[in-house]
Each structure stands twice: as structure tokens, then as C-alpha cells.
Amino acid sequence: MTASHPDITVSLDAGSAVLALPPRLESALEDSLVEALQEALATSPRLLIFDFSSVEAATSSGIGLLIDGLRRADEHHVEVALAAVGGQPLLVLRRIGLLHRLAAHETVAAAKASARP
């Protein structure tokens, strides 16, 4: 099943939820991201994947929204992974140490394949 929120697409299947993020991860996404997370977490997925394949830039407030999403997933005991992170967002996530906490994969398919049973 796939649902769209302004700027974010949620895909749900077989125990995973994928949030496809837009080209700019920024504070203007807050409402859309909260709605998308609520929808995804309501299905009790084992794995939540943030798909960065379209993300070209991330602001500090956008990273803050991502961190809030990680907190929400933790509250639901959901494993979180990142997919297709590159460019400026990759540099920012490395710099703040977030990549030490999360699994980062080249593709969504690789993230799904590495999920804990």
C-alpha cells in the first residue's frame, strides 16, 4: 500500500514502512512528516526506512525533524534504517554522529534485506 502526504510518500509492505523524503529536508516538512510517521507507525512495522534517494539538501531543522522521527520510532520499538543517503545530507549525518546510531544502506531493498527477523 502506498499513500502520499504533501512532499512525503509512505509505502507499507510485509512488516516495513518506507518514507520517501523530498529533495529538501527542512522545517516546512514538519506537518507532513508527523502525519506520515503516524500513518506508518500505526501499522506496527518491524522496520521504518527513511528513503533519502531524492534528498539533495538537509537543513539543521530538517535533521531535527528526522531525529524526532527516530525518537517516535524508538517509542514504538521499531527498527530504523536509512537508504540512499548521499551528498550534503550524508556529510551532515556523519558530522553529527547519527550514522553511528543507524544502519545506512545503498538502497531501500538492501535496508529491507538487512532487517532483523
Rounded distance between C-alpha atoms, residue 68 and residue 66, angstroms:
5
Cell numbers standing for residue 101: 546510531
For residue 6, what pLDDT is reported?
A: 78
Rounded to 5 degrees, what angle do the CA atoms 72, 73, 74 make? 90
Domains in the chain and their CATH numbers? 2-48+56-106 (3.30.750.24)
Tens digits of per-residue pLDDT, 96-109?
Answer: 999 888 889 999 99
Q: Is the pTM of this model over 0.85?
A: yes
Helix intervals (H) in the chain: 30-42, 60-75, 87-95, 108-113
Chain segment 14-73, per-residue pLDDT in tens: 899 999 999 999 999 999 999 999 999 999 999 999 999 999 999 999 999 999 999 999
